[in-house]
Structure 1
Amino acid sequence: MKVYIVRHTSVVLDGNHVCYGFSDIDVRPTFREEATLTRQALEGLSFDGVFSSPLRRARKLATFCGYPDPIVDDRLKEMNFGEWEGKLWSDIIIDQGTQEFFLRYIDHPTPGGESLRMQYDRVRSFLMEKQAAGYQEVLIFCHGGVINCARTLAGLCQLEDAYATIPPFGSVTELDFSFLEV
């Protein structure tokens, strides 16, 4: 199964300063310019399934790109940061280095939220289900964390290193999952 995963365009919050994941925040005023580039990157491709996170930043891009009715799936949401949603990272990361801090949350859920492994498991469940259903070419509109979990499942990185690089806003990541055992 070939999967094209699109990250939403930039949002009104700066993720380098504010923690957001499950929060349903809107896109920036530059949406149309950013989304036009994404739509161009998808030209000429065809899909037997189009899916989206229910969050408006993903749905809005799907609609702009010509897919107003994608199949919405909660498993494609960004990581749930629980009590941290909407808080400044500087107020959350206090007693340790950033790298050590995030390594802890690979297996330990954030307060009232989920761990990275929990997010990985739901993304894996979604992709395995689509593989078992016989999909060949899939398009997904979602979030950087979902893409990094999919990249890990595709063998391109380890979960511990997945956030060393986050795909740019509006980018299209092509992954091959034909090796997955159903």
Structure 2
Amino acid sequence: MEIYLIRHTTPDVAKGICYGQTDLGVKTSFGEEVSRLKTLLPERFDHIYHSPLQRCVQLAQEFESPIVKTDDRLKEMSFGDWEMLPWNDIPKEQLDPFMQDFVNLCPPQGESFNIFHERVNAFFNEIPYEEGKTVGIFAHGGVIRSIICGILDIPLEKAFQVVVDFGRYCKLKRISADITNVMMVNA
């Protein structure tokens, strides 16, 4: 069973803005980014799962599958009150402790990486093993990092060392219900 973790294309937001679960559109480069991805990914998936945020929905709609499901657990991490603020405008007395321990601390009205990780991996662990099937998961950078950390037992503190750029993917090969091999492709 092959599972492709596909990050949405470049979002339409200025650099330096905190935007986790904000429902952003995509940049005008969307068509070019999709064309490149279509040369690298299967033309058709047996199952597609995607985040309900439009930047993932738009990309998922570019691929074919007889089974397409939206799952809220695939949303990016919530930054709560910080959503759409420039990172530089977030009060240091809130931001500094969070940056020191983002795994356990939550932004105001947001979620910690630990809570986020539990949500994402609850979704991932429910995907049934089906030999020979191909699954596309259209999601966000944090979601992909969380899944990779869960599979490879990477401490959550090191999640941001897993690099997955916009419009890129990771390929997983699930060889049984319990064992998954990871092939990191940042193509």
* TM range, smaller chain: 0.7 to 0.9
- Alignment pair present for 1:128 and 2:134: no
Specify the alignment match of 1:148 in structure 2. 145
CA RMSD of aligned residues (A): 2.4
Shift in Å, 1:38:
1.2
Extract structure 1 runs of 4+ deviating beyond 6 A.
none
On the 8 A contact 1:124/1:153 being kept in 2, the answer is: yes
Distance 1:56 1:156, change over 3 A: same
Q: C-alpha separation between the residues in 2 aligned to 1:24 and 1:69?
A: 24
Q: C-alpha separation between the residues in 2 aligned to 1:103 and 1:2?
A: 36
On the 8 A contact 1:38/1:170 being kept in 2, the answer is: yes
Specify the alignment match of 2:3 in structure 1. 3
Q: C-alpha separation between the residues in 2 aligned to 1:68 and 1:10?
A: 26
Specify the alignment match of 2:23 in structure 1. 24
Per-residue CA distance 1:122-167 (angstroms, 9 max, x = gap): 111011111xx33443210000000000110111632111113430
Specify the alignment match of 1:117 in structure 2. 114
SS state at 1:154 partner? helix
On the 8 A contact 2:73/2:123 being kept in 1, the answer is: yes
SS state at 1:64 partner? coil
Distance 1:151 1:103, change over 3 A: farther
On the 8 A contact 2:45/2:64 being kept in 1, the answer is: no
Specify the alignment match of 1:48 in structure 2. 46
Q: C-alpha separation between the residues in 1 aligned to 2:125 and 2:29?
A: 35
Range 27-36 or range 58-67, more displaced: 58-67
Greater RCO (CA < 8 Å, at least 6 residues apart): 1
On the 8 A contact 1:151/1:175 being kept in 2, the answer is: no
Range 49-58 or range 65-74, more displaced: 65-74
- Equivalent of residue 83 in structure 2, options 82, 85, 90: 85
Q: C-alpha separation between the residues in 2 aligned to 1:150 and 1:36?
A: 26
Q: C-alpha separation between the residues in 2 aligned to 1:127 and 1:165?
A: 18
Distance 1:87 1:67, change over 3 A: farther
Q: C-alpha separation between the residues in 1 aligned to 2:91 and 2:40?
A: 37
Q: Structure 1, unaligned stretches of length 5 or more?
A: none
TM-score (norm. length: structure 2) = 0.83
Q: C-alpha separation between the residues in 2 aligned to 1:103 and 1:113?
A: 16
On the 8 A contact 1:48/1:135 being kept in 2, the answer is: no
Q: C-alpha separation between the residues in 2 aligned to 1:96 and 1:59?
A: 32
TM-score (norm. length: structure 1) = 0.85
- Equivalent of residue 167 in structure 1, options 164, 168, 187: 164
Q: C-alpha separation between the residues in 1 aligned to 2:83 and 2:142?
A: 15
Q: Structure 2, unaligned stretches of length 5 or more?
A: 180-187
Aligned pairs, number: 176
Per-residue CA distance 1:55-109 (angstroms, 9 max, x = gap): 00001011123459720000000001110100010012625986x6424221122
